[in-house]
Amino acid sequence: MSLYFFRISTGRYSGAADQPYEFEDRAAAWAEMSEVCANLLGSIARNLKPNAKWSMELLDENKKPVFRVSLVGETVC
């Protein structure tokens, strides 16, 4: 079992979690992170401003990024 931390950038919940989460392996950690993101993305997308970015990272026990999911609102013209 390995310890992981969630970190969100941008928004009212920005910052890294103080409490670690324990997962059996990286696949289990990814499955949890993708499920959490799926539950949050609808409300985040509705409030995302043009040229803004939201991301969630899963950090290892040394708080180094392992996975990242990002949502970007871009102006292209």
At 39, list the tokens: 């539950």
Q: Is the overall model pTM greater than 0.85, yes or no?
A: no
pLDDT digits (tens, 9 = 90+) for 27-66: 999 999 999 999 988 888 888 889 888 999 999 999 999 9
- Structural contact between residues 71 and 55, judged by C-beta atoms closer than 8 angstroms: yes
Return the beta strands (E) in the chain as ranges.
2-9, 15-16, 21-23, 53-59, 65-72
Identify the CA nearest to 48 among candidates 3, 13, 10.
10
* Number of neighbours of residue 5 by Cβ within 10 angstroms: 19
